[in-house]
Structure 1
């Protein structure tokens, strides 16, 4: 009797495991701790829905991300949530997934392909606008350097467009002078540092650094060898950590764009499950360049000296061990 019960339990466990829905998480890289947080929140939310997740990281290789797409398909995933290595050249990834009837969810970064099923992110144009508004309010006039991420990430293009939308009248009036408009090859701090060494700007002539990401400011500090002069340069950022809060309080960074990851992951899972189960969900049309996507855009949150303390506990909870 006991033997029969054990056999029945093993059979049931195998059946349930075989029948469990699988979703692939296809990430560009984990160079920034924020992506580890994204992966964790996605895994937790899918797990609550009874869904197994399979995580793969391409380490910024487009070819590797394509290979991993096939691996996920071979493992039987019903959907792929992708943080694209190159959102402008991922058509093979999308085509491969769609040929195998796998749902494609572009997460945080747009994938410029009309066959993407869902796109969930923050409003990139508004992120750039808010950074630029903070800059012109902070310095009124002067010389600035703009530092943005690669054009392979459409978000980088949108951030810059939003920044220039606000800056252009000030540039035309001669109140703001852009001494450097840098579009880096990648989002990492080393790319920014190498650009500083390549351009060798005289920081005594710079009033503001319009950084699209917080860690570009770390590159600025390293280039300046922590010269106190840098503290007088107005600095923007994005994707803050608990360390950013300390910097804003001390005045060594002036603002950051906060894009809470928990609601982003929750929405991505909600829309993915709705699509897989043919259920209704809150879907909007999102226009990016000449393509229309279906999904959801959140508004970004500005953190500055006036409200930094309000976000300390939230960012502390989101820390992931390196």
Structure 2
């Protein structure tokens, strides 16, 4: 009997060793799982963001699960719930609605999932872990400085981005640092000032068409918040034979915007290299998942807390430097501008 008991104990010890080894092997082979929730793929820049993050995640051996809300907050909520149910380790969230997305951060926190606010700042929550973006006030300053120096007086159409996007607020804040003093001095007369719902170009088209009709086509400068709205404004100008005669801003360095700059109908764009942004987001997610320190270079107030931030630099692009910035960097090819 003693011999039998000894044999059984020995067998159990060997089995335990093998089970333990099996668990260690499984744990070591588990991939980091990151959820990515994007607001849209309607603009070229968001397509680039998605492609870059997918490529970087694959290189780093991260399982990246991507959802696109198509500019619908309810859809984004449903998709984030689905991502959390799939057991993600980190959530990268680019919100459709900056304030409404606070509830998604709270939801993630209940599951102990850290959240990175990507490109657009999520407001109204103290649970947000990190924010990765460009200095969006400076982006607006680039636009405002450019247009106000090019057109220091005259009739202006001032458009801003979607009211639900906190970045739109920051862009306009930066731009008005240069434009508002000229308004106050009477040099600039604002004939239309309106936000573009959901960043939809058709909405920008209506704003510019209405302003032109109400002011006998007398416009001297247009502040357009991105390349999509700039393209719509140029369409309205072209219908009146004014394309290329009215300076207009842009942002995102889309191929269509770059082509218009070469053609002379759009004056500038702001280049925010989404390759760097996407890379930073995936690298940050990996560090968080591994419990490593995340290096930040600023903090941004989201209305509740100062959110630790990784802030990248943006550049102005004009016809004079478009080749050096967009072509030579490999962001676009020469054929893209034809």
Equivalent-residue separation in structure 2 for 1:202 and 1:104 (angstroms) = 47
- Residue 83 of structure 1 corresponds to 94
> What is the match of residue 307 of structure 1?
321
Q: Are 1:30 and 1:59, in contact at CA under 8 Å, matched by a contact in 2? A: yes
Match of 1:186 among 193, 198, 201: 198
Which of 312, 315, 324 is the aligned partner of 1:298? 312
For residue 167 of structure 1, report the CA deviation from its aligned partner: 1.2
CA shift, 1:288, in A, is 2.9
User: In the alignment, does 2:110 pair up with 1:102?
Assistant: no
Q: Name the TM-score, length of structure 1 as normaliser.
A: 0.89
Shift of 1:244: 2.4
- What count of residue pairs does the alignment treat as equivalent? 309
Q: 3-state SS of the aligned residue for 1:231?
A: coil
Question: What aligned pairs does 1:62-77 form with structure 2 within 5 A after superposition?
Answer: 62-77=73-88
In structure 2, what is the Cα distance between the partners aligned to 1:301 and 1:43?
A: 25
TM-score (norm 2): 0.85
CA contact (8 A) 2:234 2:265 kept: no
Contact 2:52-2:275 at 8 Å conserved across structures? yes
Contact 2:32 2:289 in 1 (8 A): no
How far apart are 1:268 and its partner, in Å?
Answer: 1.2
Match of residue 246, structure 1, among 247, 253, 259: 259
Question: Do the aligned partners of 2:250 and 2:257 also contact (CA within 8 Å) in 1?
Answer: no
Post-superposition shift, 1:69? 1.1
Q: Report the CA distance between 1:127 and its aligned residue.
A: 0.8
Give the superposition deviation at 1:38.
Answer: 0.2
Q: Which residue is equivalent to 1:259? A: 272
Deviates more, 1:186-195 or 1:68-77: 186-195
1:186 partner SS: helix
The answer to whether the aligner puts 1:217 opposite 2:230 as a matched pair is yes
State the secondary structure of the residue aligned to 1:193.
helix
- Uncovered stretches (5+) of structure 2, i.e. residues with no partner: 1-21
Task: Using the TM superposition, give the Cα deviation of residue 24 of structure 1 relative to its aligned residue in structure 2, in angstroms.
Answer: 0.8
- From 277, 296, 300, the equivalent of 1:287 is 300
Q: CA 1:207–1:114 in structure 2 vs 1: closer, same or farther (change >3 Å)?
A: same
For 2:46 and 2:88, locate their aligned partners in 1 and report how far apart those are by CA, in whole Å.
21
More off after superposition, 111-120 vs 268-277: 268-277
1:8 is matched with which residue?
Answer: none
Aligned-CA RMSD value: 2.4
Distance 1:23 1:33 in 2: 23
Query: How far is the alpha carbon of 1:315 from its aligned partner?
Result: 3.3
Instruction: Report what 2:332 is aligned to.
Output: 316
**Alpha-carbon distance, 1:176 to partner:** 1.4
Query: For structure 1, which runs of at least 5 residues remain unmatched after alignment?
Result: 1-10
Following superposition of structure 1 onto structure 2, how do residues 266-281 of structure 1 map, counting pairs within 5 Å? 266-281=279-294
* CA–CA distance in structure 2, aligned partners of residues 301 and 184 of structure 1: 23
TM-aligned CA distance change 1:308 to 1:228, over 3 Å: farther
CA distance in 1, matches of 2:82, 2:172: 35
Of structures 1 and 2, the larger Rg is shown by 2
